[in-house]
Structure 1
Amino acid sequence: MDTTSAVRARGIGKWFGEVIALDGVDLDVAPGQIHGLVGPNGAGKTTLLGLLLGLAVPDEGGLEVLGTPVGRALAVPEGVAGFVDGPGLYPSLTARQNLAALAALRGTGTDAIDDVLEQVGLTDVAADRVRGFSLGMRQRLGLAAALLTRPRLLVLDEPANGLDPAGKKHVHGVLTRLAADGATVVLSSHRMDDLEALCSEVTILATGRVVFSGPLSKLSTENRELDYRLRTSDPEAARELVAGAPGVRLLDEPGARQDGDVLVVRTLVPALDELVARLVRAGIGVRELAPVVSPLEAAFLALTEQEGATR
């Protein structure tokens, strides 16, 4: 196997009784990459993350983590950290005490505690008991606990759960800096905007199978129609122009128009580019142009629905 990969899986299978959680999964994640796992509930994301953390082992196939073959539970190499199904914390202890207890269990020093609390934005509540923390604060404390180990591979299950805008900013900053420093991050999320902002590559799972894996750029909308919100300086003139534009369909069905100034059009990217050029030539200002559904979400829906239909 290629030891230059932070994660390399070939033909991974995992089942629980008669339930097939993973079915022939291949995965390659390069060092310094933020890699997203996407899929509907029950697709196998959490199971795969658990394998990367050494909480279980595959029933078939081969798995390497940081260049080390993983053949038994809790056998992942040093440098792997993270959580699945939420971080395990002591509610009766403070944030700082939780991190100190974890450092003691691992036999490491406590010098980094203040630093990781600052990184995740919890310095002001370091002396507060965790039982009073919100979901987002507990997620950030779980991330701080993982950072104590200075991980080379960070595995996170829904780290954006419960985050307010400030918490989201802290978490995004931490993950981006880790990747810039050469660490690898594998995370699952239902938040498509987070994945698009953070990830260089994604893997989409459906019913335990990989239906797509690769750079976000490969999920191009060049060959898939999308709906776009279009707001212009002259809605009526824009409506007339859109009606005559080749390859562009104006949507007027219920719910398509958000308000009187917004048009919703369905088209491919090349035709959309030509539409914008026509609007500019006509002296109509384009004030907003955005997908109604993000390209990643559109691809996710199309691929998972297709996989479900073949089962």
Structure 2
Amino acid sequence: MDTPLAVRARGIEQAFGEVVALDGVELTVPAGQIHGLVGPNGAGKTTLLGLLLGLAVADSGSLEILGTPVGRALAVPDGVAGFVDGPGLYPSLTARQNLAALAALRGDASMAKAIDDVLAQVGLTVVADDRTRGFSLGMRQRLGLAAALLTQPRLLILDEPSNGLDPAGKKQVYGVLKRLAADGAAVVLSSHRMDDVEALCNEVTILSTGRVAFSGPLSKLAGENSELDYRIVASDPQAARVVAGTTDGLRIGGDSSDEVLVVSGPVPVLDELVKRLVHADIAVRELVPVASPLEAAFLALTEQETN
């Protein structure tokens, strides 16, 4: 049986006066998937997230959320939660009171009983009774996530969810999102941090100037960007440079130094280089991409779109 779709967008167009924010955008997100939305500033990410949350309606195209066609603002079905440009909080209320206000607004007694649990999930138990006006950016982000969790979402929309988080807070948020997806919810998150996307997302959509530059699995994105710059640290840097210079199909990068060699080429050529280094009794102590496959592909795709 096919996995049900949490989001199905086809030919989405959105303009603000003469500025085209979204130009024929297609997006498909199955239930149980964490889908990354990336792109440079002004690419249309926030506009698209707003449509998914029901904050606006597209000028044209079709949008289905959790199997329900959406044709007007504030008409998304129950089960959608999240925030764009940071969560809306009452600064004079405590974290617990903010969540209690949301539960009261929904008129759902079960939500009120879950407040302590969601605060614990996002690591805010200790500050549950502190007023949110004194919260850091990361704490506000986590409280916004707690508010979304309180509604038991089937589709969670998040804008830069790791903003302001320290490593411990990021690990906690990662765990929450992965558990949600494992339980069958879909998550769409926008992030400028490629490490967030690589750590969390099954698939990614890259937007550039309002158009989809790529959409699909991360593995496919990495495969389509086969020539990356690699940083090599060897036991004998000078000898390694000589071997690299005589390896067909390999280019030595301009960022190389006396201790570090930077090369680029297809993966089979890099494999050949490693074999030749080992054969020459040169130990390879480090071989890593200078930029991740996602970051390299993102830069290449968005530069193509803007040129």
TM-score grouping bracket, smaller chain normalisation: over 0.9
Structure 1's consecutive aligned runs of 4 or more residues displaced over 3 angstroms after TM superposition are 221-224
Residues 155-188 of structure 1, C-alpha deviations (whole Å, 9 max, x = no match): 0011111111111101111111111111100000
Residue equivalent to 2:289: 291
Q: How many residues align?
A: 304
Residue equivalent to 1:220: 222
Q: Alignment partner of 2:126: what SS?
A: helix
Q: Which residues of structure 1 form unaligned runs of 5+?
A: none
Deviates more, 1:228-237 or 1:91-100: 228-237
Q: Partners in 2 of 1:166 and 1:185 — Cα distance?
A: 21
Q: Alignment partner of 1:162: what SS?
A: coil
Residues 102-143 of structure 1, C-alpha deviations (whole Å, 9 max, x = no match): 111111231111111111111111111111111111111100
Amino acid across the alignment from 2:97 = Q
Amino acid across the alignment from 2:265 = T
8 Å Cα contact 2:213/2:305 also seen in 1: yes
CA RMSD of aligned residues (A): 1.5
Is 1:65 aligned with 2:65?
yes
Q: Which residues of structure 2 form unaligned runs of 5+?
A: none
The structure 2 residue matched to 1:153, chosen from 155, 160, 169, is: 155
Distance apart, 1:278 and its partner CA: 2.0
8 Å Cα contact 1:43/1:208 also seen in 2: yes
8 Å Cα contact 1:192/1:297 also seen in 2: yes
Write the mapping of 1:110-149 to structure 2, written as runs, cut at 5 A: 110-149=112-151
Deviates more, 1:161-170 or 1:262-271: 262-271
Q: Alignment partner of 1:74: what SS?
A: coil
Q: TM-score, normalised by structure 1?
A: 0.94
Deviates more, 1:279-288 or 1:91-100: 279-288
Amino acid across the alignment from 2:128 = A
Residue equivalent to 1:23: 23
Q: Alignment partner of 2:5: what SS?
A: coil
Q: Partners in 2 of 1:212 and 1:168 — Cα distance?
A: 26
Q: Partners in 1 of 2:26 and 2:299 — Cα distance?
A: 21
Q: Alignment partner of 1:131: what SS?
A: helix
Distance apart, 1:97 and its partner CA: 1.0
Residue equivalent to 1:93: 93
Q: Partners in 1 of 2:35 and 2:105 — Cα distance?
A: 29
8 Å Cα contact 2:55/2:73 also seen in 1: yes
Residues 191-241 of structure 1, C-alpha deviations (whole Å, 9 max, x = no match): 001101111100000111111100011112465421111112332322222
Distance apart, 1:267 and its partner CA: 1.5
Is 1:102 aligned with 2:69?
no
Write the mapping of 1:25-44 to structure 2, written as runs, cut at 5 A: 25-44=25-44
Q: Partners in 2 of 1:276 and 1:198 — Cα distance?
A: 31
Percent of aligned pairs sharing the same letter? 77
Deviates more, 1:266-275 or 1:88-97: 266-275
Residue equivalent to 1:237: 239
Residue equivalent to 2:176: 174
The structure 2 residue matched to 1:302, chosen from 279, 296, 300, is: 300
8 Å Cα contact 2:225/2:297 also seen in 1: no
Write the mapping of 1:208-287 to structure 2, written as runs, cut at 5 A: 208-221=210-223, 224-251=226-253, 253=254, 256-257=255-256, 260-287=258-285
Deviates more, 1:32-41 or 1:220-229: 220-229
Q: TM-score, normalised by structure 2?
A: 0.95
8 Å Cα contact 1:203/1:214 also seen in 2: yes
Amino acid across the alignment from 2:264 = R
